[in-house]
Each structure stands twice: as C-alpha cells, then as structure tokens.
C-alpha cells in the first residue's frame, strides 16, 4: 500500500503549480475582469451601505430566510420590485492580498493532499502515468469546479463567469494531474 508521506513532493509541487497557473489567469490573462460590473450609481450605493454600518459578511436582498415569510404580501412585493441578490462585504481598508493568497495556496495544498490521500487507497506504486493523470485530473477538477457551479445555481453568479471558473478548474486539474503523473512512485 502506498503511503501518503511518500507523496509529499508531488502534493507540494501540484499546489505550487496551481498557484502559478492561478496567478497567470488573474494577473496576466485577466479573463475574469469582465465578470465584475460597476453600478451606475456606485457612490450613492456605497453611501447608503456605509450609513447602515454593516459588519463584514454576506447579506441578502430582500431579507427573507424562512419560506413561511414568502407568503407575506409585503415580502412578495419586495421581490417583485427588486433588487434581488446577495451582497458580500469585507472590512473597510485597502485590500491586503497576502492573506488571501496564503489561504488560496493552503486550499490548493489541501486539494492536493486530499486527492493524494484518496489516490493512496486506489492506486498503487507503479501505477501507469495515464491512470495517475486520469485519476488526478478528474478528482482535482471536481474539487476546484463544484463550488462555482453551486454559486451559479444558488447565488446568481453569472453563467459566463461560472464557465470561466470551470475553465480555471480544468487548468488547475491538468497541472495537478501532470505533476502527480510525473512524480508518481514507480
């Protein structure tokens, strides 16, 4: 049986490869920039939100968390009038990319480690490069892709943005699979 500890190098390098691929996607190719729109009255919206003094978190408009409340004509009218959506707020201040990048790298490391753990249960030493590549491509694609589809379904993320996220997930899956196929114990 293959031990997870023997896969420390491909786990680490796959996470690094995903981090590099992600950096290229967001800083060089920038294909996600069009996914973020600007409100025509951004300053007014910011002022109204600031006056409410909300804490960082996720907010829903109109606020209705119980299905029973949907029977209320006032709540129904709010949905008809709109807007209907989610608002995510962070703490005020200049963005600090370091913590976000650190968490992203830890997620990539976790995906690599968990899929490697799963692979130890089904693939043995000396498994063919094709089988290793296939296993890691599928399993890491699932890990990187499902959240975006869920957000498209439940949080109204535009399907064009979800499609780009799926392309990202495919890229991350391919680089992960390539690293594991290259460094799989023989």
Q: pTM here? A: 0.90
The ranges of the chain with pLDDT < 50 are none
Same domain membership, residue 85 and residue 111: no
Same domain membership, residue 109 and residue 17: yes
Same domain membership, residue 120 and residue 160: yes
pLDDT at 65: 83
Structure-block tokens of residue 114: 């968990």
Instruction: Render 90-123 in DSSP notation, one character per residue.
Output: --SSS--HHHHHHHHHHHHHHHHHHHHHHHHHH-
pLDDT at 67: 84
Q: Could you report the per-residue pLDDT of 35-57, keeping only the tens digit for each?
A: 999 999 999 999 999 999 999 99
Same domain membership, residue 98 and residue 65: no
Same domain membership, residue 8 and residue 32: yes
On whether the CB atoms of residues 166 and 148 are closer than 8 A, the answer is yes
CA distance 150 to 162: 9
Same domain membership, residue 78 and residue 41: no
Q: Could you report the per-residue pLDDT of 98-120, keeping only the tens digit for each?
A: 999 999 999 999 999 999 999 99
pLDDT at 142: 98
On whether the CB atoms of residues 4 and 120 are closer than 8 A, the answer is yes
CA distance 105 to 124: 27
On whether the CB atoms of residues 171 and 21 are closer than 8 A, the answer is yes
């Amino acid at each position: 049986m293959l031990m997870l500890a023997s896969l420390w190098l491909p786990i680490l390098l796959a996470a690094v490869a995903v981090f590099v691929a992600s950096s290229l996607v967001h800083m060089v190719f920038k294909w996600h920039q069009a996914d973020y729109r600007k409100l025509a009255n951004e300053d007014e919206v910011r002022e109204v939100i600031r006056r409410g003094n909300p804490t960082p978190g996720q907010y829903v408009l109109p606020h209705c968390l119980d299905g029973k409340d949907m029977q209320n004509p006032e709540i129904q009218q709010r949905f008809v009038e709109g807007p209907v959506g989610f608002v995510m707020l962070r703490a005020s201040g200049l963005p600090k990319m370091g913590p976000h990048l650190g968490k992203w790298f830890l997620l990539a490391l976790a995906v690599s480690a968990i899929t490697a753990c799963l692979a130890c249960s089904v693939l043995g030493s000396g498994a063919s490069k094709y089988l290793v590549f296939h296993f890691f491509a599928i399993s890491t694609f699932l890990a990187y892709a499902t959240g975006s589809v869920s957000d498209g379904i439940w949080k109204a993320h535009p399907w064009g943005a979800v499609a780009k996220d799926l392309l990202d997930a495919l890229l991350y899956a391919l680089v992960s699979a390539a690293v594991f196929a290259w460094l799989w114990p023989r």
